Amino acid sequence: MLRTARSLLAVVSAGILVVATAMSCSTSANTLTNTTNTNGTTNGGTNAGSSTYNDLRIPPTLQGTSFNLTLARTTKQFRSGTATDTYGYNGEQFWGPTLILNQGDSVQMNVTNALTDTTTVHWHGFHIPASMDGGPHQTIAPTTTWRPTFRVRNNAGTYWYHPHLHTKTYDQLTMGAGGFIIIKDPIESALQLPRTYGTDDIPLVMTSRRFLSSNQFSKNIVIDNYGDYMLANGTMNAQVSLPKQFVRFRLLNAEIERALNLGFSDNRTFYVITNDGGLLDAPVGVTRVRMLPGERVEILVNLGSDAVGASLDLKAFNSGQTFGFPGNEGNPVTPSGNAGPINGSLLNNTDFPILHINVAAATTGAITTLPGALTTNRYWTLADVTNSRTINITGGQAGGNFSFDNVFFDHGYINQTIKLNAVEKWTIVNNQIFGHSIHLHDIQFKIISRSGGPVEAYESGWKDTFYIPKGESVVVVAKFTDFASSTDAFMFHCHMSNHEDLGLMGQFLVVP
Ligand code: C2O
Ligand code: CU
């Protein structure tokens, strides 16, 4: 049985449809038979141009220097009939409140686990000591509270929190556990940018789910890497009214595996103003931005020339990608609504809407111009490098899962040891199997080069997560400052939580 699971996984990872089809009598096919993709249910039931919309959920906010989070099981009515079992923090039915932090503050987090399962909470993108990081080692047993404290050192930007328990991350993320963190700092606050939360400053977490005929989320880590229905802040077929002015979106790809090639339905230009670790030097105009699981960008879009009452969609333009782009595999929507092969999905290899936008009247104090300069970053360059290392993404061939340097994640194994204050060049080399989304804890880095082409202008800022296409090498440079420990490790991993949970994760120590 294990053997079957492992070989199926290889199929999923590699997305080889021919092999998947040959396995049509396997367990996986039975599971897919249980998958309901019926159109026309409550909530529209389809992402394909439905006219039945639901209002976008805007997560509530928590501010201050002491934060209480409680993760519990709950339910949410996504479809007609039985409500879906979900996880949410602080009574939310999916996802959690947005934490608003100020750079420089020392904060106290109190994270209570009201599940019957152990969890952790990781502060994704934060530069904090490893013991406070919320990785797989900082477990929170059921009915207990974890109380980390740390000083907020990161730049203003969009970050997030989510479970990180090894072999459970996929499951708990799928259930809905996660939340935004917004950091504010004086540089960002001095800019003329939209920042009225929920009005012209919209957090938007994008993730999709597959439903069983029982209406429960389908959570087979071998099969369900791509959902069939897109959720925006946990809302299916979401719509929002936005004022006729510059609007800011804080975008987070929290998919399990799918990359999102984002743009607007009329192909208008929009402006990327941040990467994972804060402001770019200046806005970067684009018509598409590619986001992998774990990545954030803040964008500005100008609705000032749109008529009140007009509408447009934020969409993923995911059709026509080459193999290795996560979400290219599998079939387009079939008339029967069947999700098809193991790694297929109703949304794979298609263009699909994520958020329907209705243009409304401008607000008082509307931002109507695009800022020129944003900040001045001093990035690390190759000239700063004091140590270099190469890390290979290995495995993934038939019969195997992905690994780093042929080592699957092991709690007791330290993959890399780094000297405090080293400026390190990491060359990540991907094998010929599939694309990944690589995330390093502790630091923000600069992408120096990609063997497959240029580093895009919209990914030229501080990053903690990056796309590595199939067969490519990517060079990043980071300085490992402030936090050393000979016992508490930081993680590096693929942020596709199926790959991560099945072994594509490693640990590094930063030592004095
Ligand atoms: Cu967003 Cu190691 O995680
Ligand atoms: Cu991966």
Strand partners, 449: 475
Strand-pair category, 179-184 with 54-55? unpaired
Tell me, yes or no, whether 96 and 135 share the same domain: yes
Contact of 379 with 47, CB cutoff 8 Å: no
Edge-to-edge strands, sheet with 122-124: 61-63, 98-102, 179-184, 157-162, 122-124
Number of domains in the chain: 2
How far apart are the CA of 124 and the centre of ligand 2, in A?
A: 17
Tell me, yes or no, whether 298 and 425 share the same domain: no
Closest CA to 69 of 91, 86, 101, 102: 91
Cα–Cα dist 445/481, whole Å: 12
Cα–Cα dist 45/37, whole Å: 8
Structure tokens at 316: 């993923």
How far apart are the CA of 122 and the centre of ligand 1, in A?
A: 7
Relative to the CA of 492, which ligand 1 atom is closest?
A: 2
The CATH number of residue 166's host domain is: 2.60.40.420
Contact of 195 with 248, CB cutoff 8 Å: yes
Tell me, yes or no, whether 341 and 384 share the same domain: no
Q: Is the pLDDT of residue 30 over 70?
A: no
Q: Is the pLDDT of residue 51 over 80?
A: no
Cα–Cα dist 324/433, whole Å: 7
Q: Is the pLDDT of residue 186 over 90?
A: yes
Type of residue found at 288:
R
pLDDT band at 342 (very low <50, low <70, confident <90, very high): low
Contact of 313 with 356, CB cutoff 8 Å: yes
pTM: 0.90
296 lines ligand 1 (CB under 6 A): no
Q: Is the pLDDT of residue 32 over 50?
A: no
User: pLDDT, tens digit, for every residue of 245-269?
Assistant: 999 999 999 999 999 999 999 999 9
Tell me, yes or no, whether 148 and 231 share the same domain: yes
Task: Tell me the DSSP string of 284-326.
Answer: EEES-EEE-TT-EEEEEEE-TTSPTT-EEEEEEE-TTPPTTST
Q: What do you get for the CA distance between the two ends of the chain, in Å?
A: 46
Contact of 278 with 254, CB cutoff 8 Å: no
Tell me, yes or no, whether 477 and 432 share the same domain: yes
**Which one of 360, 387, 404 terminates a domain?**
360
Radius of gyration of the chain (CA): 21
Q: What is the reported pLDDT for 331?
A: 55
479 lines ligand 1 (CB under 6 A): no
Closest CA to 123 of 409, 477, 470, 441: 441
Structure tokens at 130: 């490893």
Tell me, yes or no, whether 472 and 348 share the same domain: no
Tell me, yes or no, whether 399 and 259 share the same domain: no
Please tell me the number of the ligand nearest to residue 122's CA.
Answer: 1
The answer as to whether 369 is a domain residue is no
Cα–Cα dist 284/155, whole Å: 19
Cα–Cα dist 220/304, whole Å: 45
**Which one of 305, 326, 360 terminates a domain?**
360
Please tell me the number of the ligand nearest to residue 499's CA.
Answer: 2
Burial class (CB in 10 A: 0-12, 13-18, 19+), 192: exposed
| Distances in whole angstroms, Cα of residue 155 to Cα of each of 159, 177, 208, 274 | 10, 24, 29, 10
Mean pLDDT of 286-303: 98
The answer as to whether 251 is a domain residue is yes
Q: Is the pLDDT of residue 36 over 50?
A: no
Q: Is the pLDDT of residue 17 over 70?
A: no
User: pLDDT, tens digit, for every residue of 123-147?
Assistant: 999 999 999 999 999 999 999 999 9
The answer as to whether 366 is a domain residue is no
Tell me, yes or no, whether 312 and 383 share the same domain: no
The answer as to whether 365 is a domain residue is no
Relative to the CA of 135, which ligand 1 atom is closest?
A: 2
The answer as to whether 370 is a domain residue is no
Look up tokens 């013991």; give the residue: 131
**Which one of 330, 360, 390 terminates a domain?**
360
Q: What is the reported pLDDT for 9?
A: 34
The answer as to whether 368 is a domain residue is no
Average pLDDT of the chain is 89
Q: What is the reported pLDDT for 388?
A: 98
Backbone angles phi, psi at 69, to 5 degrees: -125, 135
166 lines ligand 1 (CB under 6 A): no
pLDDT band at 243 (very low <50, low <70, confident <90, very high): very high
Relative to the CA of 465, which ligand 1 atom is closest?
A: 1
Q: % helix / strand / coil in the chain, to the nearest 5?
A: 10, 40, 50
How far apart are the CA of 272 and the centre of ligand 1, in A?
A: 22
* Count of residues in the chain: 512
Q: Is the pLDDT of residue 163 over 50?
A: yes
Burial class (CB in 10 A: 0-12, 13-18, 19+), 228: buried
Q: How many percent of the chain have pLDDT more than 70?
A: 87
How far apart are the CA of 500 and the centre of ligand 1, in A?
A: 9
Mean pLDDT of 323-333: 76
How far apart are the CA of 464 and the centre of ligand 2, in A?
A: 15
Span of 9-23, 122-136, 417-431, 435-449 with lowest mean pLDDT: 9-23
How far apart are the CA of 302 and the centre of ligand 1, in A?
A: 32
Q: Is the pLDDT of residue 378 over 60?
A: yes
Residue nearest to atom 1 of ligand 1 (CA): 124
499 lines ligand 1 (CB under 6 A): no
Cα–Cα dist 364/244, whole Å: 11
The answer as to whether 487 is a domain residue is yes
Q: Is the pLDDT of residue 40 over 90?
A: no
The answer as to whether 84 is a domain residue is yes
Q: Is the pLDDT of residue 15 over 60?
A: no
Tell me, yes or no, whether 479 and 428 share the same domain: yes
Span of 46-60, 130-144, 364-378, 422-436 with lowest mean pLDDT: 46-60
Backbone angles phi, psi at 268, to 5 degrees: -65, 155
Contact of 95 with 451, CB cutoff 8 Å: no
Residue nearest to atom 3 of ligand 1 (CA): 124
Task: Tell me the DSSP string of 44-112.
Answer: -S-SSS-S--EEPP---EEESSEEEEEEEEEEE--SSSSPEEEEEETT-SSB-PEEEEETT-EEEEEEE
Helix (H) / strand (E) element for 169: namely helix 169-175
Task: Tell me the DSSP string of 228-262.
Answer: SEEEETTEETEEEEEESSEEEEEEEE--SS--EEE
Please tell me the number of the ligand nearest to residue 121's CA.
Answer: 1
Relative to the CA of 491, which ligand 1 atom is closest?
A: 2
Tell me, yes or no, whether 312 and 203 share the same domain: yes
Count other Cβ atoms within 10 Å, centred on residue 320: 11
User: pLDDT, tens digit, for every residue of 434-471?
Assistant: 999 999 999 999 999 999 999 999 999 999 999 999 99
Full residue range of the structural domain in which residue 382 is found: 377-511
Look up tokens 């600069």; give the residue: 446
Tell me, yes or no, whether 440 and 336 share the same domain: no
164 lines ligand 1 (CB under 6 A): yes
Tell me, yes or no, whether 306 and 219 share the same domain: yes
Q: Is the pLDDT of residue 68 over 70?
A: yes
How far apart are the CA of 262 and the centre of ligand 1, in A?
A: 22
How far apart are the CA of 32 and the centre of ligand 2, in A?
A: 23
Catalogue the long-range contacts made by 303-309 (C-beta closer than 8 Å, 24 or more residues apart): 303/242, 303/243, 303/244, 303/245, 303/246, 303/247, 303/357, 303/359, 304/244, 304/245, 304/246, 304/362, 304/366, 304/368, 306/244, 306/359, 307/359, 308/244, 308/359, 308/360, 308/361, 309/358, 309/359
Burial class (CB in 10 A: 0-12, 13-18, 19+), 360: middle
